[in-house]
Amino acid sequence: MIPKIRKVIPEEDFFLFVEFDDGQKVVYDVKNDIKSISDFRSLKSEKGLFQNVQIDSSRTCVFWTDRIDLPSDIILEYGKPA
């Protein structure tokens, strides 16, 4: 089953605090994605873009633009427990 996201909060230094429907809470570091995925670089270069993170309508993904998104299962797998 794909984990559903209840809440996402952008934090300092490109971290995301993510809470899931089952109560799990993780902090996901987006800096590695910014370094390794070219589309993610605009999160660092465009002022304020990172803070505009949203949850998609299925609640299985967070996104910033139509080219920059993170699926919930990746966030849960690689995030650190909060």
Q: Does residue 6 have a pLDDT over 90?
A: yes
pTM reported for the whole predicted model: 0.95
| Structural domains in the chain (count) | 1
CATH number of the domain encompassing residue 25: 3.30.2020.10
CA 33 and chain centroid, separation: 10
The pLDDT, as a whole number, for residue 1 is 86
Residue listed under structure tokens 């934090």: 11
* Structural domain containing residue 15: 5-81
Beta bridge partners of 26: 18, 81
